Amino acid sequence: MQLTKEAELSEKYESVIKPWFVNEMESGFWILADGTSLHYRYAHHVQAKSVIVISSGRVECAAKYAELIYDLYQNGHSVFIHDHRGQGLSERPLDNPHFGYISDFKQYVEDFERIIDDLLSPMLADKYAEERPPLHLLCHSMGSAIGILLVKARPELFSKAVFCSPMFGITPPLPPWIANIVVKVGVLFNRIKGKTCSYFFGQGDYSPTAFYKNRLMSSKVRYEIFRKTYSEQPQLQLGGVTFEWIHASLVAMKEIRRDAKQIKLPCMILYSGADTVVANEDIEQVIEDLPHCESTLVPEALHELFFEKDKFRTPSLTKILNYFSIP
């Protein structure tokens, strides 16, 4: 199994991974029925074991996933990813492009459904004329909430799914019942004032956090590449969450926890022992309710397993790739 190592990453990213990502992957923009433009990238493997469709987390985009996409491709998989509405190079709906905003997670799900049906499926039919490899779903954090709602709505789309550090519950700064009231009051206040949204308390425009203060990953080299990428391409930057995004996410996570028993697709969940972003107790409830779910807790790892130190990332990706290789 070929996986990039931290010791080689700084040099390899600039000389191999980044040029491959920029020059070898297909990319473009897909226009939805409402006129919204979604950015996508696709890496075509002629002898693909599967086509892995990535659903990234909040603030994330295809450019951040260059190393992961490269590693998946080197291990024999085609890879497709799109930037969710309001993130990355996809269209930002508001005057302030830094607002983390969505009114309803159903919008994310509908976007995902449309780009698979109208873009990816015809693309794969053309590229794999004889037999299309299985379609697998790989998700992280917010992308897991979007992904599992898509699986619920369209269970026939994928053969398997993997949800990493899934946002099935979040760790609020306040007790949950107080947080719910505060968020609802904030949304109501904005409606009364005629505002689409406003930042939640303590949130603001994009501002990079120093490595020693970050709670996403413990790999310094991967963190520095992430921040450098966003520094070199300011259009990728996204700020904090709004009252409206939090409200929409709470509604979506409640639906996921309520309806997990209905989801029959074979899936795997990997979650992090030292995660302070999502709530592991909610993840474990969903694991218990999913009928066909394997799960692994990665002790001591932080939230972003795809960007963690090798001692966490390598076994996690090995497990994922092995899972996707089993018919």
CATH number assigned to the domain covering 6-325: 3.40.50.1820
Six token digits for residue 177: 């019942």
Q: What is the pLDDT of residues 272-319, one digit of tens each?
A: 999 999 999 999 999 999 999 999 999 999 999 999 999 999 999 999
Bridge partners of residue 267, in order along the sequence: 161, 293
pLDDT averaged over the chain? 96
* pLDDT reading at 66 higher than 90: yes
Q: What is the pLDDT of residues 184-243, one digit of tens each?
A: 999 998 999 999 999 999 999 999 999 999 999 999 999 999 999 999 999 999 999 999
Q: Which residue has the tokens 């992090």?
A: 272
Give me the mean pLDDT over the 70-92 stretch. Answer: 98
Domain boundaries, the chain: 6-325
Q: Are 277 and 141 in contact (CB under 8 A)?
A: yes
How far the first Cα of the chain sits from its last, in Å, is: 18
* pLDDT reading at 174 higher than 80: no
Amino acid at 278: V
Angle (CA) 71 140 169, round 5°: 160
Angle (CA) 104 200 94, round 5°: 55
Query: pTM higher than 0.75 for the full model?
Result: yes
Residues in the chain: 327
The number of angstroms, rounded, from the C-alpha of 147 to the middle of its chain's C-alpha atoms is 8
Q: What is the pLDDT of residues 115-137, one digit of tens each?
A: 999 999 999 999 998 889 999 99
The 3-state DSSP class for residue 287 equals helix
